[in-house]
Structure 1
Amino acid sequence: MKFLSSASALLCLAPLAATATPTSLFGYSQDVIADGKAVQGDNPLEYCSESEPSGDILQIESVDLAPNPPKPGTTLVINAKGNLHQKIEKGAYVVLEVKYGLITLLRQTADLCEQLVNVDLQCPLEEGEMVLTKQVDLPKQIPSVCIIIFPDAEEPLSNLARVKQQGRYTVHADVYTKDNNRITCLDAKNIQF
């Protein structure tokens, strides 16, 4: 589960994690308009279907993962760029859900500021341009899901079969300020290990 927690944290923090610097003396550069629902860059991220990303506090320019998809036993390099249109203070939170197929493995609400330490940041995050470059060593063994199959209904334990699935995961991260204003909402679908 440690890997899933790390992967989930990276999903929701990658676009946020960076050092803020003003883009210009006159305010923000032009907003990034997403082409469809995909987040720009080499990544499995999509904006959540129920949200309109143009209204989010975080406008994501791009997120690049190398390798994409992530591979067990390698170093994952994350490069992300975006703009925060509001200062992010203590009390911000992430609603996180990790699924294996239809099975929910993790559903939790986490303090965003506590999670930022995983990417060498702390609250408050200042308004302005955000740039992140982060390397994460992925474990050689990605947790598998054990599925138990009972092929014989009359004597289920006599023909017990276990199938270890490396399978596909889905991660949903909805990020809010302490005042419940949406920072961003992202999905990563069909992440396969």
Structure 2
Amino acid sequence: MRFSSAACIAALSAGNLVSAGSWFGTGDVSVNDAQKVPGDSPLQFCDGDHDQDTVHIEHVDLLPNPPEAGSPLVIRATGTVFKPIEKDAYVKLVVKYGLIRLISTRADLCEQVENVDLKCPIEKGVLSITKSVDIPKEVPPGTYNVFADVYNADDTPITCLQATVTFGMKRNTDESIESIEEVEDL
């Protein structure tokens, strides 16, 4: 499976969006309401104090939520950048499939935000992004945990986000209707 963007959550945390689709799929989403990022998405803030974060995320929506493998996903996000995000900003990204660590990396945030047609420096102010991505149909079913801790070049926090998504098997609607009709005939 191709990880379409190491900045999926990192870019969201900067008020930007990157193709997150390959890590969010059909299924149940578990979110702690106290830490939930406002909007309709599986994102939540990491535990801890976010008063000093460079970016305040105001809203993130995924359409549809939950996303579906093999279908387009529209991501909408709005946030406020309090301090310019400059070259050498980075994200520490960990992606797990169940208990198996698939990715553990440090990625250049400025390279990743180019996926949403932005460039560093990202100036102070309100930033709204809408991005459509295609989710691969080959996303395996299971539980995925994504953790992104994002920093400026001087190691001050931009934000920290996480998401947990359980992929399910996408059922063919016609097959589901036929199965229900068969049970009713019994």
TM-score range, shorter chain: 0.7 to 0.9
Pick from 115, 118, 122: which aligns with 2:119? Answer: 122
Equivalent residue pairs, number = 152
Q: Which residue is 2:65 aligned to?
A: 68
Q: Is the 8 A contact 1:14 1:78 kept in 2?
A: no
Matched, 1:85 2:93: no
Is residue 66–residue 77 contact of structure 1 (8 Å, CA) maintained in 2?
A: yes
Tell me the TM-score normalised to structure 2 length.
Answer: 0.77
User: Given the alignment, which residue of 37, 40, 43 partners 1:42?
Assistant: 40
Deviation at 1:110, TM superposition (A): 0.3
Q: Which runs of 5+ in 1 are unaligned?
A: 19-34, 145-165
Q: Is the 8 A contact 2:13 2:161 kept in 1?
A: no
> % of aligned pairs identical?
49
User: What TM-score do you get using the length of structure 1 for normalisation?
Assistant: 0.74
1:138 alignment counterpart: 135
* Equivalent residue in structure 2 for 1:177, among 129, 152, 160: 152
Q: Amino acid of the residue matched to residue 40 of structure 2?
A: D
Between Structure 1 and Structure 2, the one with more helix by share is 2
- Other structure's SS at 2:9 match: helix
Match among 147, 167, 170 for residue 142 of structure 2: 167
Structure 2 partner of 1:59: 56
Q: Which of 110, 115, 135 is the equivalent residue of 1:113?
A: 110
User: Where does structure 2 lack aligned partners over 5 or more consecutive residues?
Assistant: 17-32, 169-186
Counterpart CA distance in 1 for 2:167 and 2:125 is 34
- Counterpart code for 1:61: E
Please state if 1:102 is matched with 2:77: no
Q: C-alpha root-mean-square deviation of aligned residues, in Å? A: 1.5
| Partner SS, residue 14 of structure 1 | helix
Report the Cα distance in structure 2 between the residues aligned to 1:191 and 1:127, rounded to whole angstroms.
35
Letter in 1 for 2:119: Q
**How many angstroms apart in 2 are the aligned matches of 1:138 and 1:100?**
17
Residue 148 of structure 1 corresponds to which residue in structure 2? none
In the alignment, the residues of structure 2 paired with residue 11 and residue 81 of structure 1 have an alpha-carbon distance, to the nearest angstrom, of: 13
One-letter code aligned to 1:176: Y
Per-residue CA deviation, residues 114-173 of structure 1 (Å, 9 max, x unaligned), is 11111111111001101011111111211x3xxxxxxxxxxxxxxxxxxxxx10100000
